[in-house]
Amino acid sequence: MKFDTPATTNPIDQMKVVGKATPRIEGPLKTTGHAPYAYEHHDAAANQAYGAVVGSAIAKGRIVSMDLALAESAPGVIAIVTAANAGKLGKGKYNTAPLLGGPQIDHYHQAVALVIAETFEQARAAAELVNISYVVGKGAFDLASSRASGVEAKDQMADTVHGDFAGAYVAAPVQLDETYFTPDQAHAMMEPFASMASWQGDKLTLWTSNQMIDWSVTDLATTLGMPKQNVRLVSPYIGGGFGGKLFIRSDALLAALGARLAKRPVKVALSRPLMINNSTHRPATIQRIRIGANADGKITAMAHEGWSGDLPGGKVERAAQPSKMLYAGENRLVTMRLTTLDLPEGNAMRAPGETPGLMALEIAMDEMAEKLKLDPIEFRILNDTQVDPTNPDRPFSKRQLVECLRTGAERFGWDKRHARPGTQRDGRWLIGMGVGVAFRNNALVKSGARVRLSDQGIVTVETDMTDIGTGSYTIIGQTAAEMMGVPLDQVVVRLGDSSFPVSAGSGGQFGANCSTAGVYAACVKLREAVAQRLGVSVEDAVFADAEVRSGGKNFPLRDAAQGGEIVAEDTIEFAELSKKFQQSTFGAHFVEVAVDSATGETRVRRMLAVCAAGRILNPTSARSQVIGAMTMGVGAALMEELAVDTRRGFFVNHDLAGYEVPVHADIPHQEVIFLDETDAVSSPMKAKGVGELGLCGVSAAIANAVYNATGIRVREYPITLDKMLDKLPQMI
């Protein structure tokens, strides 16, 4: 199905099932332990063995020798995979460095061997006996000292130059010029990277934890040098991904190599230190922001320049991206520079680009508002735009940012905020409020599905779409139920299998809108087939209450399949609408914090998110996504930071004891408001994404609240008490 005109009336608009607050249909399986995660497919293949990964002890250099004798003779050991016996390996599209290193080492904890044994404990013990000698090379591990070597990554984010920034900035009567720092961050999902591989002749089945099935089948086949059709990837349940599981990692490749060498199924799971140093992470950024404005508050010049680092051939963190179009302004300069760092690979983490970018930009907007003596919300509203500032002929398909700010201000009690910092107290606590705008683009990705109607009236949906805890099973089931006019309990949803039609996958907050649009397209085909079987006109047919009604007659839906199951398949393809309209999602985050006047301890007291993200397909799971994202924003603002050993090139705090994330005690009451919005340009579902929007801007709202509470402006995340402690006594 081609989607090339705005959606008008369609069956989804009935909103009998779609749009209703609905518990997750797979919830009982998860809460009772019957939903198998990647390492738990215990009965999927017989005679399973276990693999333990050996990671490089150096960050850059070469392996001189690898002594396997002790490990090979250890109890239970079956085989050991190394680069020497793995055979020729290709390079997948989404892997910056080889997933199996040797003799060259590209980063710390790069996998260099897999020890396979009868039990997990035997494999782990034997892995400790692998003796490796290295020659250590010289590497670059510090972004600040490598900043000057940064280059433009044109294929990822070319410079945006619009108007005359330099001239407009110099002429502006009010100016801001500040630099902000965001650290390296880990995905820290609950479920580890884990896989089990089994070969049947030259065909491979891989049970794994992965967000993007088709991408990963392609990359694994390319890496192993085998036909794509000979690889089946199964990932029905995923315990968190946040972008870290968009691509295959070493667990998947080594499980496949190990199973081939051992001639039996092999399971591999990465330990927490390997998860942090062996997989991807959100790269650190340095961001310089300059804003020029007239005395009335209108922005006339904006420059957002950023730097990030990655392995050779890696990706830039597009932190400056939001400044292209979030606010009005005639003259702007937006650039990102990529430096070479020999740290573990930097790549996508929940809302890449916008998350670290707004951590800086939304502080800068508050700082500029203060210079202009304007309320931070009014300053943002004053500089709202309904068109792409660099292309005025391209309007936003829907932009309710002002409504988000106004609604949030009223609900949160913004009028009670003390404009002068450090003046509101509650005993020893300094109290402050902050705001941050949320912005995330709405990507449109081709997505397909297959639907089946049985003679019992059961509708089954099959698509390789994944559920990373986001509620995909439920919204896909709701879509099919709405389209076919059946209750949700008559829909079966099957996900996460490469034998199903290719979907959008889970990433970039495009999964919900695009995957359900693919199901919509397949259901349109199924409705046509049902009408043909029943001998009625599909244009006049009404599908409701498990019936088909047409011409004054009612037919049970199941009657259409009495002559045999009906199967329909289609794919939604998005044509030119994304070029005619800028499609984005918007929101506003409000936070109240308390800062201990003696110690600088910061506690978040209240949080509110107001989101304008198209039709909300399931308010229950959408709210869950937003409050989870808000929680992640608290972590990014106050505690999350991968500490880099700039001498040896690795992340020191590579476990959940040293890498701090929020716990229940850190998180207060969270409120979420969804504006009533449908976007007919986005898809037939008229929905957008919301899971990443809930994170964008949160950390800056906290930083701005801390400033409002204390008068201390921290421009380097995380905002830890050591960055405020020496300034607090002045205010007691």
- Active-site residue set: 692
Cα 355 to Cα 508: distance, rounded to the nearest angstrom: 12
Q: What are phi and psi of 126, to 5 degrees?
A: -70, -35
Element (H, E) at 196: strand 194-200
For residue 387, what are its two tokens? 């068109």
* HSE value, Cβ hemisphere, 13 Å, CA-based, for 692: 29
Q: Would strands 459-462 and 447-453 be described as parallel, antiparallel, or unpaired?
A: antiparallel
Burial 705-725 (b: 16+ CB within 10 A, else e): bbbbbbbbbbbebbbbeebbe
Cα 586 to Cα 675: distance, rounded to the nearest angstrom: 10
DSSP character string of 434-494 = EEEEEEEE-----EEEEEEE-TTS-EEEE-----SSS-HHHHHHHHHHHHHT--GGGEEEE
Surface-to-core class of residue 269, CB atoms within 10 Å of its CB (0-12 exposed, 13-18 middle, 19+ buried):
buried
Cα 118 to Cα 562: distance, rounded to the nearest angstrom: 50
Burial 428-447 (b: 16+ CB within 10 A, else e): ebbbbbbbbbbbbbbbbbeb
* One-letter identity of residue 93: K
C-beta atoms surrounding 296 within 10 Å: 10
For residue 298, what are its two tokens? 């209108």
In the chain the first and final C-alpha atoms are separated, in Å, by 65
The owner of tokens 């963190």 is 317
Break the chain down into helix, strand, coil percent, rounded to 5.
Answer: 30, 30, 40
What are the start-end ranges of the H helices in 455-607? 472-484, 511-534, 577-580
Taking every pair of C-alpha atoms in the chain, what is the biggest distance, in angstroms? Answer: 83
